[in-house]
Amino acid sequence: MTEIKNTLKVLEKVCLNPEEYLENIRKEKKIIGCFLPYTPVELIYSMGFHPQILWWYGIETGASSKYLPPFYCYPLKSLLEAGMEGKLDYLAAVLIASFCDSLKAIGQNWKVAVENIEFIPLVYPQNRDLDCGMDFLKSEFLNIIKILEEKFNCKYDEDKLKEAIKLYNERNQKLNKLMDLANKHLDIITPKYRNYINKAGSILDVKDHIKYIDELIAELEAREEFKSENKKVLLTGIMADSKTLLNSIADSNLDVVSDDLAQESRQYRTEIKEYTSDPLFNLCKKWADFEGCSMAHSRENERVKIILEKIKENDVDGVIFVNTSFCDPEEYDYPIIKKALEEKNIPQILIESNKENTSNGQIKTRIEAFQELLNS
């Protein structure tokens, strides 16, 4: 038990204080900050950089209001604020993919507000099932390669990208296995630690993440299965990266047994397949294969299907939709998901998350009320 607790504490420390870990990384590699939610980390890693996915920065926003209107989501406002205050000066560059209107605009603001950190643009096509969409995405990846080669005197290597893809696929497969195993040990993998295990993948070198995942799998497999009597919930949204929310879920005797979060399972659930001998094309196809996100256009609304499948597979009692305030894509998806759940008589609740002004007491009260509903 001591060993597993130590591993979880290491991951918690990395998530709460990433600067210490990243300072050691900087001694060997330049760090590319990748704005949420999705980015070609395999490509960046293969070119000798350390990709860090940036979700938000714990900071009070003020100066960023010179560039961003009040209705911008806090994650993007906080990252621009952090850049302006020099909190992200350890980054060699930032890569910003324009998945939504806010992300489309913030890159241009970044170029003016944070001149000392290189801005690399990226556009993911929404016509993902068409050959022209894949051709366009490959041209975008080639542009990233060109910028990195010119600015940092490095070279793209197909073999290294193949190695990186293999490594990330291995990590994703093992993490999915760990999440399945975690449901047999909910006394140890609480909502908070489930989040840390997943979130750490945005910070750690992929080899380090694999090492910690292997340790947790070995420890959990050696333990007797824990039978929980708590009601089971699924989390969906961009992220549930809130201490108040996760502690309220645990304190209300609810178990998180599955998720559909951009910060967690959506990062790891799509394998990069070997369609051709060209690894860059295969990396493009990952976006074509990816389903179930408000940021990725779907003709059949695969997200609802994925959520309903997860509910069935994990015997979920209720769904918590964690909405990041002013996230338009998620707000458009919520009524569709709500209707689908109501048709199946599956209880759900919407929790609004805004790290600047959300009432902690309000979140606790709403989660407690949801727990009473599930137990009624």
DSSP 168-212: HHHHHHHHHHHHHHHTT-TTTS-HHHHHHHHHGGGTS-HHHHHHH
Residue ranges of the chain with per-residue pLDDT less than 70: 1, 355-359
C-alpha 119/C-alpha 97 separation (Å) is 11
All domains in the chain, ordered by first residue: 21-134 (3.40.50.11890)
255 three-class SS: strand
Q: Is the dihedral of CA 169, 141, 21, 239 positive or negative?
A: negative
C-alpha 57/C-alpha 76 separation (Å) is 9
What pLDDT was estimated at residue 354? 74
Q: Which token pair is 125? A: 């096509």
What pLDDT was estimated at residue 300? 82
Amino acid at 31: I
Amino acid at 14: V
What pLDDT was estimated at residue 358? 55
What pLDDT was estimated at residue 303? 97
Q: Is 352 left (phi over 0), alpha (psi -120 to 50) or beta?
A: beta
C-alpha 238/C-alpha 330 separation (Å) is 8
What pLDDT was estimated at residue 1? 66
